[in-house]
């Protein structure tokens, strides 16, 4: 692999997050570089999802600083993260159950649509053109993920694996510069996992999207990620390229401790 | 003609994104509009216009308004009747206090007034959901009716807040025959129904549904919850407000605050439950069903009683009506939460495959 990993675009410094007495994250620092696949691993309850929630503004850490493209970020709400081109998927599928696959993915483009509700009501000017232009873009995503056949299906009727794929599609539709994936392969069979791996690698490769990935399947993580952060009980216990992390004593102990 | 998509290949996304992508649906809608605008005025009697068709259209509009808020944006409201009252009284006051204002303009302003009030009572939705929000809108229901009785200025100092609406003059022409009022109401309702359909099929509607289905995911995608919810309250109340103005001006001619009771709010809620939550057509089906069922029972019940030789009183009719309503509402809530519109959808899907079901 000879891809160009660029400068640091997201830098988290000394992040601490508490829920009442529960310390979800304690003094965590790490960075993410342009174009890399950065994995976050750790046993259950380690604080991985909380970390993603901090990155896109769902949770607000009590301490620590976040630098986005070199600028310190103020307290930020999730919809603002979306406007800074950060997209994500969720550990528990968070699709819009009452809508079709197409409509779900169309919502991914909401930050790029400018027409207001009056234009929509009258189906006039920008409204019509925008719906068409964005439909074009969404169809590209649908082709990329090979889900043409379920375009009009209500997402609730789809099997789990396809729902995960649609959720990825909704995130991709935003054309994000950074994509946060929370266990995109959980609960999938081998074949579905392979597809998902391929999509993630293609997104990273073709669109140059930076990816932050939470995953429990060590094989997958070691295979596709450039650097790995390891969390345990809300603390960082390892950080580096896959081989380094694999041989890190603390990491081995955490995993053995949790597993046995 | 068979009901098929087959053979109707869509070669452009524009064709696929038409308001009614299936040709048979387009034909059906055009036929329905032709019947409503031309056929009905030729044949219907005065009784039908003033006792059935006009209230049906007005309630369908109110149900449509509630459906935008509850069915699409997922915010439960028990204040629809109160927002209709705001529309009725606002239209009355605009007519009364602004010299020479066109009636259409007062209807629009009435809608906007209701929208403003709706946004105000929608503010709690930023913090609370579901049952608690319903209670907050219940407060709107009682507060608004109370205000209309309490402040005589709003009803031009009439006793107990009764208002008699001004003449209905449109473009210099006075509409006083039922058929004329019907055509006015029909035009307004059709326009607003198309506008609603356009909103829900575009990104405005998708934002509402996203907030309804999963608000955290919606905000992570970039949808701002506050403006999205408040817009739903505004649009919904606008629809209810215009419906209320027409309720006063085109249907009853004289209304009092207590006429816009909690009962009426519930009636509108039942319309969307039975017709279909989150469906434009469902609002019409539900309104028709709820308004026609009592009329049907009035005719059918004495007849049935007669048939079986049972004793019969008008009290029995109203009791049975309540029973039937209760039963139907439970049926739809439990068995088919998407109402008649969904049943219609299923029928269409079957029809699409008919006569080869596999
Ligand atoms: N919204 C919340 N309120 C209270 N506690 C929370 C909340 N979110 C997370 N926590 C707590 O923070 C800790 C870390 O949770 P988190 O979901 O980030 O773990 P995780 O590493 O993603 O685990 P898993 O592998 O099971 O997904 C847990 O103890 C959890 O109970
Ligand atoms: Mg998690």
Identify which of B299, B288, B270 has the alpha carbon closest to the alpha carbon of residue B55.
B288
Would you call B119 an interface residue with chain A, using a CB distance cutoff of 8 Å? no
User: Does the beta carbon of A52 lie inside 6 Å of ligand 1?
Assistant: no
pLDDT given for residue B329 in this prediction: 82
Percent residues over pLDDT 70 in chain B: 95
Does the distance separating the beta carbons of A117 and B213 come in below 8 Å? no
pLDDT exceeds 80 at position B185: yes
Q: Which residue has the tokens 């209500």?
A: A154
Report the relative pairing of strands A210-214 and A178-182 from DSSP bridges. parallel
Would you call B18 an interface residue with chain A, using a CB distance cutoff of 8 Å? no
Task: Note the pLDDT tens digit of each residue in B142-178.
Answer: 999 999 999 999 999 888 889 999 988 888 888 889 9
- Which is higher by pLDDT, A201 or B12? A201
Task: Note the pLDDT tens digit of each residue in A48-89.
Answer: 999 999 999 999 999 999 999 999 998 889 999 999 999 999
Per DSSP, the three-state class of B65 is helix
Task: Note the pLDDT tens digit of each residue in A94-136.
Answer: 999 999 999 999 999 999 999 999 999 999 889 989 999 999 9
Q: Whose CA is nearest to atom 12 of ligand 1?
A: A24
| Cβ atoms B203, A123 nearer than 8 A | no
Task: Note the pLDDT tens digit of each residue in A131-185.
Answer: 999 999 999 999 999 999 999 999 999 999 999 999 999 999 999 999 999 999 9
Q: Whose CA is nearest to atom 26 of ligand 1?
A: A44
Does the distance separating the beta carbons of B205 and A110 come in below 8 Å? no
pLDDT exceeds 70 at position B180: yes
What is the maximum alpha-carbon separation in chain A? 64
| Half-sphere exposure at residue A135, Cβ-oriented, CA atoms within 13 angstroms | 18
| Cβ atoms A218, A230 nearer than 8 A | no
- Which is higher by pLDDT, A189 or B350? A189
What is the interface pTM, i.e. ipTM, of the complex? Answer: 0.92
**Which pTM does this prediction carry?**
0.91
Give the mean pLDDT of chain B.
90
Residue A187 CB neighbours (<10 A): 11
Question: Given CA atoms B181, B185, B190, B192 in this order, what sign does their dihedral have?
Answer: positive
**Atom of ligand 1 lying closest to residue A183 CA:** 27
Among A56, A99, A135, beta carbon nearest to B220 = A56
**Residue B349: pLDDT band by 50, 70, 90 thresholds?**
confident
What would the mean pLDDT of B237-242 be, rounded to a whole number? 98
pLDDT given for residue B356 in this prediction: 63
Does the domain at A1-85+176-260 match CATH 3.40.50.300? Answer given as yes
pLDDT given for residue B350 in this prediction: 76
Q: Which residue has the tokens 């976050």?
A: A40
Would you call A92 an interface residue with chain B, using a CB distance cutoff of 8 Å? no
pLDDT given for residue A259 in this prediction: 47
- Alpha-carbon torsion angle A57, A61, A63, A64, nearest 10: -40
**Residue B357: pLDDT band by 50, 70, 90 thresholds?**
low
d(Cα A173, Cα A106) in Å, to the nearest integer?
A: 7
User: Does the beta carbon of A43 lie inside 6 Å of ligand 1?
Assistant: no
Would you call B11 an interface residue with chain A, using a CB distance cutoff of 8 Å? no
pLDDT exceeds 60 at position A260: no
Q: Whose CA is nearest to atom 22 of ligand 1?
A: A49
- Alpha-carbon torsion angle A143, A148, A152, A155, nearest 10: -80
pLDDT exceeds 50 at position B306: yes
Q: Residue B17's closest chain A neighbor by CA?
A: A132
Task: Note the pLDDT tens digit of each residue in B257-301.
Answer: 999 999 999 999 999 999 999 999 999 999 999 998 888 887 887
Per DSSP, the three-state class of A213 is strand
Percent residues over pLDDT 90 in chain B: 64
Would you call B17 an interface residue with chain A, using a CB distance cutoff of 8 Å? yes
pLDDT exceeds 90 at position A236: yes
d(Cα B200, Cα B226) in Å, to the nearest integer?
A: 18
Would you call B224 an interface residue with chain A, using a CB distance cutoff of 8 Å? yes
Long-range contacts of B321-324 (CB under 8 A, 24+ apart): B321/B293, B321/B294, B321/B297, B324/B293, B324/B297
pLDDT given for residue B324 in this prediction: 84
Would you call A154 an interface residue with chain B, using a CB distance cutoff of 8 Å? no
What are B169's strand-pairing partners? B174
Instruction: Enumerate the domain spans of chain B.
Output: 19-260
Does the distance separating the beta carbons of B203 and A106 come in below 8 Å? yes
pLDDT exceeds 90 at position B126: no
**Residues in B touching A81 (Cβ below 8 Å):** 220
pLDDT exceeds 60 at position A39: yes
pLDDT given for residue B5 in this prediction: 64
**Atom of ligand 1 lying closest to residue A53 CA:** 18
What are A37's strand-pairing partners? A211
Task: Note the pLDDT tens digit of each residue in B93-106.
Answer: 999 999 989 999 99
d(Cα B68, Cα B122) in Å, to the nearest integer?
A: 13
Task: Note the pLDDT tens digit of each residue in A177-208.
Answer: 999 999 999 989 999 999 999 999 999 999 99
Could you tell me the two tokens for B228? 């999205």
Residue A234 CA, ligand 1 centroid: distance in Å = 9
Identify which of A43, A40, A41 has the alpha carbon closest to the alpha carbon of residue A10.
A40
Does the distance separating the beta carbons of B203 and A58 come in below 8 Å? no
pLDDT given for residue B299 in this prediction: 80
Question: Given CA atoms B103, B108, B114, B120 in this order, what sign does their dihedral have?
Answer: negative
Identify which of A179, A156, A181 has the alpha carbon closest to the alpha carbon of residue A95.
A156
Instruction: Enumerate the domain spans of chain A.
Output: 1-85+176-260, 95-173
pLDDT exceeds 70 at position B84: yes
User: Does the beta carbon of A22 lie inside 6 Å of ligand 1?
Assistant: yes
Among A88, A95, A139, beta carbon nearest to B220 = A88
pLDDT given for residue B11 in this prediction: 72
Burial class (CB in 10 A: 0-12, 13-18, 19+), B131: exposed
Per DSSP, the three-state class of B79 is coil
- Give the Cα-Cα-Cα angle B259, B272, B200 (nearest 5 degrees): 115
Among A77, A99, A108, beta carbon nearest to B221 = A108
Residue A47 CA, ligand 2 centroid: distance in Å = 7
User: Does the beta carbon of A53 lie inside 6 Å of ligand 1?
Assistant: no
């Amino acid at each position: 692999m000879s891809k160009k990993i660029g400068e640091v675009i997201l830098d988290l410094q000394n992040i601490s997050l508490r829920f009442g007495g529960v310390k979800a994250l304690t003094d965590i620092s790490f960075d993410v570089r342009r174009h890399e696949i950065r994995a976050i691993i750790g046993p259950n309850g380690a604080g991985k999802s909380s970390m993603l929630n901090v990155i896109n503004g769902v949770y607000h850490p009590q301490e620590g600083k976040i630098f986005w493209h070199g600028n310190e970020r103020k307290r930020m709400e999730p919809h603002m993260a979306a406007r800074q081109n950060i997209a994500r998927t969720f550990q528990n599928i968070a699709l819009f159950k009452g809508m079709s696959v197409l409509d779900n993915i169309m919502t991914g483009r909401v930050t790029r649509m400018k027409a207001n509700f009056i234009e929509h009501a009258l189906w006039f000017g920008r409204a019509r053109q925008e719906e068409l232009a964005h439909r074009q873009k969404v169809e590209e995503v649908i082709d990329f993920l090979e889900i043409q056949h379920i375009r009009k299906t209500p997402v609730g009727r789809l099997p789990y694996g396809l729902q995960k794929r649609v959720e990825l599609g909704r995130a991709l539709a935003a054309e994000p510069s950074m994509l946060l994936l929370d266990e995109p392969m959980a609960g999938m069979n081998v074949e579905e996992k392979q597809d998902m791996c391929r999509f993630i690698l293609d997104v990273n490769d073709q669109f140059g999207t930076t990816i932050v990935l939470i995953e429990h399947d060590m094989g997958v993580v070691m295979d596709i990620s450039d650097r790995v952060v390891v969390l345990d009980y809300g603390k960082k216990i390892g950080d580096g390229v896959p081989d380094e992390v694999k041989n890190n004593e603390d990491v081995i102990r955490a995993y053995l401790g949790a597993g046995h | 003609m068979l009901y098929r998509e087959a053979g109707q290949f869509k070669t452009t996304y524009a064709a696929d994104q038409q308001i009614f992508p299936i040709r048979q649906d387009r034909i059906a809608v055009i036929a329905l509009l032709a019947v409503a605008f031309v056929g009905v005025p030729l044949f219907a009697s005065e009784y039908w216009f003033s006792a059935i068709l006009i209230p049906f259209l007005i309630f369908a509009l109110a149900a449509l308004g509630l459906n935008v808020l509850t069915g699409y944006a997922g915010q439960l409201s028990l204040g629809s009747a109160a927002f209709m009252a705001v529309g009725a009284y606002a239209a009355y006051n605009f007519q009364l206090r602004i010299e020479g204002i066109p009636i259409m303009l007062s209807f629009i302003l009435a809608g906007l007034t209701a929208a403003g009030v709706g946004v105000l009572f929608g503010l709690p939705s930023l913090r609370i959901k579901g049952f608690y929000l319903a209670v907050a809108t219940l407060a709107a229901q009682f507060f608004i009716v109370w205000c209309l009785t309490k402040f005589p200025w709003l009803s031009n100092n009439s006793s107990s807040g009764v208002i008699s609406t001004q003449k209905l003059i449109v473009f210099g022409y006075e509409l006083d025959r039922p058929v004329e009022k019907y055509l006015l109401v029909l035009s307004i309702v059709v326009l607003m129904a198309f506008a609603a359909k356009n909103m829900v099929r575009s990104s405005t509607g998708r934002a509402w549904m996203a907030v309804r289905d999963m608000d955290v995911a919606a905000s992570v995608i970039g949808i701002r919850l506050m403006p999205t919810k408040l817009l739903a309250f505004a649009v919904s109340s606008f629809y209810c407000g215009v419906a209320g103005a027409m309720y006063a001006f085109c249907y009853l001619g004289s209304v009092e605050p207590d006429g816009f009771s909690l009962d009426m709010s519930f009636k509108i809620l039942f319309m969307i439950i039975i017709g279909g939550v989150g469906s434009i057509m469902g609002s019409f089906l539900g309104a028709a069903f709820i308004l026609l069922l009592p009329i049907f029972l009035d005719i059918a019940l004495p007849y049935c009683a007669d048939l079986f030789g049972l004793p019969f009183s008008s009290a029995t009719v109203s009791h049975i009506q309540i029973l039937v309503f209760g039963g139907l509402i439970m049926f739809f809530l439990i068995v088919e939460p998407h109402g008649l519109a969904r049943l219609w959808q299923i029928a269409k899907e079957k029809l699409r495959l008919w006569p080869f079901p596999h």
